[in-house]
């Protein structure tokens, strides 16, 4: 009798639990899936918002030079002055040399080529650190896609880089009297560069909301990062014991490929470019995920 009673009770309890298991578990799973989709949905919608992004980028680029006498020409004058200063100091005084010819003009070209992608990245990340705070009026508009702001700033900085690239090609043609068809590899190098820049911009834009000192911190980090990247000096002068650290720097790989396609007539350095692309993808995914997870708190903090 005891065994029969226990079996009846067990069967009764099974029957009582079955409905709970049947309805509660799928509901929890659906809610979790919905939350995950909500985080990533704005990312999949970015291509559909390309008109908005390009409009923001165009407005940002034109507003920067609006009212100035030389206008967009400043996008070329500024790096040229910087290159002249670095060339005088490092090539003229310290005797640093790039390329097979090893002239001061070669130093200027290699420096210009290294500064182009770095300046684009640096400018975007520095401006992203304050972009959400500066657009506080848009934060409280639930329908406005805030993730487009860092992307638009990156494309605006890319516009400056492309102007500089045209100047680099003209200077190369005048100094070397030749242009390499390998410059057609530029889109292949630009894609991972943009991926890394988007990710870094999203990450810093979010951190800038919660830590207002992030703008000053980012400036210091980027300054140190630049000098740890072989931009103003060739890789060949780096002591052997420091080479692993220089090669671990992802921007070393990117700038190496830029110089190969613009100045040396070679294809990108595929192994190092693959390394940079992996780092860029990780930064892109993490940067967007962090931005999407924290944006719900932007309005409360601002």
For 175-194, write each residue's pLDDT tens digit: 888 899 999 999 999 999 99
**Pair of tokens at residue 32:** 């979790």
CA 294 – CA 167 distance, rounded (Å):
40
Give the count of beta carbons closer than 10 Å to the beta carbon of residue 77.
11
* Helix 186-210 with 214-227: angle, nearest 10 deg: 150
H or E segment at 76?
helix 74-86
Give the count of beta carbons closer than 10 Å to the beta carbon of residue 186.
16
Could you give the count of Cα atoms lying within 13 Å of 211 in the half-sphere of its Cβ?
Answer: 11
For 194-231, write each residue's pLDDT tens digit: 999 999 999 999 999 998 889 899 999 999 999 999 99
CA 230 – CA 107 distance, rounded (Å):
12
Sign, Cα dihedral of 201, 202, 205, 211: negative
For 37-94, write each residue's pLDDT tens digit: 677 888 888 989 999 999 999 888 887 777 666 666 777 777 778 788 878 887 777 6
CA 242 – CA 260 distance, rounded (Å):
22
Report the predicted TM-score, pTM, of the whole model to 2 decimal places.
Answer: 0.83
Compute φ and ψ for 138, nearest 5 degrees. -90, -20
* 211 backbone φψ class: left, alpha, beta (φ>0; ψ -120 to 50): beta
Could you give the count of Cα atoms lying within 13 Å of 265 in the half-sphere of its Cβ?
Answer: 8
């Amino acid at each position: 009798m005891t065994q029969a009673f226990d079996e009846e009770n067990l069967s009764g309890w099974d029957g009582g639990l079955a409905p709970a298991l049947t309805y509660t578990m799928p509901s929890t799973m659906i809610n979790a899936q919905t939350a995950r989709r909500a985080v990533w949905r704005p990312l999949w919608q970015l291509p559909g918002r390309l008109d908005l992004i390009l409009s923001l980028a165009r407005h940002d680029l034109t507003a920067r030079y609006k009212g100035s006498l030389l206008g967009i020409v400043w996008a070329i004058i500024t790096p040229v002055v910087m290159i002249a200063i670095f060339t005088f100091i490092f090539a003229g005084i310290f005797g640093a040399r790039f390329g097979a010819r090893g002239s001061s003009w070669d130093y200027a070209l290699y420096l210009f080529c290294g500064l182009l992608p770095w300046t684009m990245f640096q400018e975007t990340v520095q401006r992203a650190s304050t972009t959400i705070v500066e657009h506080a009026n848009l934060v409280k508009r639930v329908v406005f896609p805030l993730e487009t702001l860092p992307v638009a700033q990156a494309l605006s900085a890319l516009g400056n880089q492309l102007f500089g690239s045209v100047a680099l090609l003209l200077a190369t043609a005048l100094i070397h009297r030749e242009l390499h068809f390998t410059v057609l590899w530029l889109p292949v190098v630009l894609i991972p560069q943009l991926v890394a820049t988007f990710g870094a911009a999203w990450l810093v834009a979010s951190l800038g909301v919660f830590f207002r000192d992030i703008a000053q911190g980012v400036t210091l980090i980027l300054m140190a990062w630049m000098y740890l990247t072989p931009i103003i000096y060739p890789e060949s002068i780096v002591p052997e014991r420091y080479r692993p650290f220089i090669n671990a720097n992802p921007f070393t790989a990117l700038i190496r490929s830029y110089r190969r396609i613009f100045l040396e007539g070679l294809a990108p350095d595929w192994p190092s470019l693959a390394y940079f692309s992996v780092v860029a993808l990780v930064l892109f995914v993490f940067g967007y995920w962090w931005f999407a997870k924290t944006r719900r708190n932007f309005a409360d903090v601002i």
